[in-house]
Chain A
């Protein structure tokens, strides 16, 4: 596979390490009432779609950017690649 890195252009997938679903960005609030439940879901529950999937890849043999790759799990077509830091901010994460 080839991943079009937003900063570095097309790179072979072998340079990357895969992590998983983009929802791993949404780490729950440890002080919330339902923190135990929320962490359980965060840790163990994932959707496994046959089709479009947003997922985290780490450019370990490259510039160390975490990326969010939108990939079709049936065809491996990649339709979007974003810097995970930007996605994290969009999803409300800051400090």
Chain B
């Protein structure tokens, strides 16, 4: 196929050709073309099928407002559905396909849907699919799902990359038409930092599409000169292919830059960049969008917006038809006729709804006070029918119902547009986003001279506000073109369906029906009919729809009101919002100092509190994780094991009031902890629920080191800062988080002291008497390396934790393992750690789950009644502290071969009908205990402390299990604590 409709084109490069395909058919275009202009140049009027009725549809507009021409671009993983052909930049090798048809586009099997249209009007879902009820899941929903949606996703991961960026400026100019360019030039010349963003790949706005002149030269030439001047300024950044899609608080704007969508491949660059722009002032120069008129069969391919027809002729040198008719209610529509004529295209007729028009076009048929009632043509327009019955042959109809200022961004906070009768359109109203002003067509100044003047003046006012001196150079000169309009919305005489919203297949009848059925508010109209939804958000349809609603209701348009515009202005891919936070990078994680070493040992890792921790260390011959974990537990309990515990939160506390501060954080007393000693502490939330636990060591008179659980390290520190700054601002206490500063290792097992004697420098006596259980000291290791040694035990064994500055962590683990070789020392991971703490009855995250109190944990007596602490008062509430409440106990299966499961609920043995009322509590943690040779559990049982030896049932209807368990002490191993004091 050749470019039969190409007639020239001032802003395309005809010296070069680009090849592309549409539905597999090879076509040609030129650099500067959009897919839409190239399709029209190749005579391709039919480009898709409509959403609901599968009606043939063509290209309706020439910009981002396009409701019809949604196509699928590229293939494979990069396939992108629902792209507007009118903004897709043509490149060599582009593959485009049409959407929403079964079989070929020309013979869509689903076109039969259109015959059912009388039954599918507004609200048919709500009326039709109500009964019989059983049909919903089996028939209705699957059928609706298979026919819903337009394009198809590739179902493969997006192969492209997306980035986020941050920009700062004095003046953000949104839109680079005549108003935006003169605003940006004013800002640039005044020396302000300016960002000019425009959604088009060729900035200039309507100047590129019109034949209007500035300073005696074509407008598009003036635009090119202005852009060259801006490009040469260091203080100005021009972002083309960039849509400012949202106005957020405090002068922050969201913008999407399409970096490589116009290239065959992204070549390693980010495909799109989501910019966050911080602007002191913003000038909205977003222009205006033309709207249609509702008349019979106004949706045929070939029926287009008049301004779009002009754009295709002037900018791209494409005649959208061989014989074009114009239907308008305003002066602007006439310029389409004159521009067509100037380009040598046959003008079939100009139909103006206004009766008092004196305009004429030499030799062309003019119908004033006229209207079009119907169109004909199966896959594209070939004839229009006037109200007086006359039929006119035409293959393209340019329609103008007037222009709507693009007020969207003015509404993103609290702005509500107001109606202006003189231009028959909504203009920005109410409270605009602070710092934003509006210039040009976006504010209702719909003529060229006004746009140039407003752009400059609005920018100058903002610049002077910011302390800049406005440039005194003369303003560009242009004339205000004729722009009169008499509102005309709907050809009521038309008996055929008149389309209002092309993207959602909403007709004038649907709007009236919505009103008749009681959906009278414009917001209800939108939801009932879907008017103004989907990718175009009703840019060409909304005002038309609510004008028809207003007519039906006998109200004025301002009384009817508009729906609220929310971000984004045009669609933004989810991938752009995600940026690089995808897959493995969705949430960053940290590596412990022994990570490299652990990797060498073949560790399996698990993510814990944003750290990767070794979960277990498999050895050759082990057939599953249980083999490894059982061995790690046994070796530790029999000799010595080493575990990286760096991830526990560490908070350094200093100051004269540090002890008093700790006293107020923990439920138990810390005032009397002596230097060189460690104490276990329990923290509550202020509402009395158990929050976190850990040990705090007193290293000096006014120096403590606290540990927190891995998961709560960040929030405990935050809450401590809150207590320090907001609750007790005059306590002399200072905090610093040192979690990442120290590498810390647990060395546990009967041989742990023997091992450490080989590592800790001899000057430090770590004998049983000199360094007893719960002792701590600053020591040196390996010949002078500073370290901290704590004799604390999570496993229940004789155990220590040794900390060295993080940079020595890798060396330390290697030194510890080398020293332990003679004892058969092994590394153990978080699984073995968990098994040993369950064997010992220590509470952890499963027990501190946000539902349990100190009393439930059996630590009620730890709460000091002599002092205040966070959560102290609320922990005494009846339900949290009742004597017959839940208590943490151990559970042992009566049949030792049975495996226990966390999450099971406890009920009495004879309970025939388990219920919430007969629920006794729940199993919180379970493990296979290699030390005991059977499964064990921790759990909360009502009055559990008074029921030792009782047998109850662990009832688990989810897993279909019901196991008899005996209530035992939670201390399965060494209840007297002899080992850890050894």
The answer to whether B872 and A30 touch across the interface, beta carbons within 8 angstroms, is yes
- For A85, the chain B residues whose CB sits under 8 A away are 725-726, 729
Q: Give the contacting residue for A2; candidates B250, B657, B722, B729; CB below 8 A.
A: B250
Query: Is A76's CB within 8 Å of the partner chain B?
Result: yes
Report the Cα distance A89→B726, complex, angstroms.
Answer: 8
In whole Å, how far is B563's beta carbon from the nearest beta carbon of chain A? Answer: 20
The answer to whether B249 and A1 touch across the interface, beta carbons within 8 angstroms, is yes
- For B872, the chain A residues whose CB sits under 8 A away are 30
Known: A35-B873, A58-B718, A66-B722. A75 touches B414 (CB 8 A): yes
Q: Give the contacting residue for B726; candidates A1, A36, A78, A93; CB below 8 A.
A: A93
Query: Is B243's CB within 8 Å of the partner chain A?
Result: no
- For B434, the chain A residues whose CB sits under 8 A away are 77
Total interface residues on A, CB under 8 Å, equals: 36
Which residue in chain B gives the minimum CB-CB distance to A77? B434
Query: Is B868's CB within 8 Å of the partner chain A?
Result: yes
Which residue in chain A gives the minimum CB-CB distance to B434? A77
Query: Is B727's CB within 8 Å of the partner chain A?
Result: yes
- For B108, the chain A residues whose CB sits under 8 A away are none
Query: Is B251's CB within 8 Å of the partner chain A?
Result: yes
Query: Is B152's CB within 8 Å of the partner chain A?
Result: no
Query: Is A19's CB within 8 Å of the partner chain B?
Result: yes
Known: A1-B249, A2-B251, A43-B687. A88 touches B725 (CB 8 A): yes
Known: A36-B877, A64-B721. A94 touches B726 (CB 8 A): no
- For A66, the chain B residues whose CB sits under 8 A away are 721-722, 725-726
- For B729, the chain A residues whose CB sits under 8 A away are 85, 88-89, 93-94
- For A95, the chain B residues whose CB sits under 8 A away are 657, 728, 730-731
Known: A1-B249, A2-B278, A75-B413. A39 touches B727 (CB 8 A): no
Report the Cα distance A76→B725, complex, angstroms.
Answer: 25
Report the Cα distance A28→B872, complex, angstroms.
Answer: 12
- For B251, the chain A residues whose CB sits under 8 A away are 2
The answer to whether A58 and B721 touch across the interface, beta carbons within 8 angstroms, is yes
The answer to whether B249 and A39 touch across the interface, beta carbons within 8 angstroms, is no
Interface string of B701-727 (1 = CB under 8 A from A): 000000000000010001001100111
Query: Is B576's CB within 8 Å of the partner chain A?
Result: no
The answer to whether A88 and B249 touch across the interface, beta carbons within 8 angstroms, is no
Query: Is B895's CB within 8 Å of the partner chain A?
Result: no
In whole Å, how far is B353's beta carbon from the nearest beta carbon of chain A? Answer: 42
Report the Cα distance A78→B872, complex, angstroms.
Answer: 35
In whole Å, how far is B708's beta carbon from the nearest beta carbon of chain A? Answer: 16
The answer to whether A76 and B249 touch across the interface, beta carbons within 8 angstroms, is yes
Which residue in chain B gives the minimum CB-CB distance to A27? B727
- For B221, the chain A residues whose CB sits under 8 A away are none
- For B645, the chain A residues whose CB sits under 8 A away are none
In whole Å, how far is A61's beta carbon from the nearest beta carbon of chain B? Answer: 11
The answer to whether A84 and B725 touch across the interface, beta carbons within 8 angstroms, is yes
Report the Cα distance A39→B722, complex, angstroms.
Answer: 17
The answer to whether A88 and B727 touch across the interface, beta carbons within 8 angstroms, is yes
The answer to whether B726 and A43 touch across the interface, beta carbons within 8 angstroms, is no
Query: Is A15's CB within 8 Å of the partner chain B?
Result: no
Total interface residues on B, CB under 8 Å, equals: 30
Which residue in chain B gives the minimum CB-CB distance to A89? B729
The answer to whether B722 and A43 touch across the interface, beta carbons within 8 angstroms, is no
Interface residues of A in 9-27 (CB under 8 A from B): 17, 19, 24-25, 27
Report the Cα distance A52→B730, complex, angstroms.
Answer: 29
The answer to whether A84 and B730 touch across the interface, beta carbons within 8 angstroms, is no
Known: A43-B686, A43-B687, A75-B414. A93 touches B873 (CB 8 A): no
Interface residues of A in 45-95 (CB under 8 A from B): 56, 58, 60, 64-66, 74-78, 83-85, 87-89, 93-95
Interface residues of B in 650-687 (CB under 8 A from A): 657, 686-687
Query: Is B7's CB within 8 Å of the partner chain A?
Result: no
Report the Cα distance A93→B431, complex, angstroms.
Answer: 40
Query: Is B857's CB within 8 Å of the partner chain A?
Result: no
- For A75, the chain B residues whose CB sits under 8 A away are 413-414, 431
The answer to whether B252 and A2 touch across the interface, beta carbons within 8 angstroms, is yes
Which residue in chain A gives the minimum CB-CB distance to B718? A58
Report the Cα distance A13→B581, complex, angstroms.
Answer: 19
* Most chain B beta carbons < 10 A, residue from A1, A2, A66: A66
Interface residues of B in 858-916 (CB under 8 A from A): 868, 872-874, 876-877
- For A40, the chain B residues whose CB sits under 8 A away are 874
Report the Cα distance A39→B877, complex, angstroms.
Answer: 11
In whole Å, how far is A71's beta carbon from the nearest beta carbon of chain B? Answer: 10
Report the Cα distance A93→B664, complex, angstroms.
Answer: 15
Interface residues of B in 249-269 (CB under 8 A from A): 249-252
Which residue in chain B gives the minimum CB-CB distance to A3? B250
Report the Cα distance A13→B434, complex, angstroms.
Answer: 17
Report the Cα distance A84→B728, complex, angstroms.
Answer: 11
Which residue in chain A gives the minimum CB-CB distance to B723? A27
- For A65, the chain B residues whose CB sits under 8 A away are 725
- For B728, the chain A residues whose CB sits under 8 A away are 93-95
Q: Give the contacting residue for B730; candidates A25, A27, A28, A89; CB below 8 A.
A: A89
The answer to whether A28 and B725 touch across the interface, beta carbons within 8 angstroms, is no
- For A36, the chain B residues whose CB sits under 8 A away are 873, 876-877
The answer to whether B722 and A19 touch across the interface, beta carbons within 8 angstroms, is yes
In whole Å, how far is B462's beta carbon from the nearest beta carbon of chain A? Answer: 18
Which residue in chain B gives the minimum CB-CB distance to A86? B729
* Most chain B beta carbons < 10 A, residue from A36, A39, A74, A75: A39
Report the Cα distance A17→B249, complex, angstroms.
Answer: 17
In whole Å, how far is B734's beta carbon from the nearest beta carbon of chain A? Answer: 11
7 smallest CB-CB distances across A and B, nearest first, come from A2-B250, A94-B730, A76-B249, A30-B868, A85-B729, A1-B249, A66-B725
* 26 A-B pairs in the complex with CB atoms less than 8 angstroms apart: A2-B252, A17-B718, A24-B726, A25-B727, A27-B686, A27-B727, A30-B872, A35-B873, A36-B873, A36-B876, A36-B877, A39-B873, A40-B874, A43-B874, A56-B722, A75-B431, A76-B250, A77-B434, A83-B725, A85-B725, A85-B729, A89-B730, A94-B728, A95-B657, A95-B730, A95-B731
Given A66-B722, A84-B725, A95-B657, 19 more contacts at CB 8 Å? A1-B248, A1-B249, A2-B249, A17-B718, A24-B726, A27-B727, A30-B868, A35-B873, A42-B686, A43-B686, A58-B722, A74-B414, A85-B725, A93-B726, A93-B727, A94-B728, A94-B729, A94-B730, A95-B731
Residues of A within 8 A of B (CB): 1-2, 17, 19, 24-25, 27-28, 30-31, 35-36, 39-40, 42-43, 56, 58, 60, 64-66, 74-78, 83-85, 87-89, 93-95
Residues of B within 8 A of A (CB): 248-252, 278, 413-414, 431, 434, 657, 686-687, 714, 718, 721-722, 725-731, 868, 872-874, 876-877
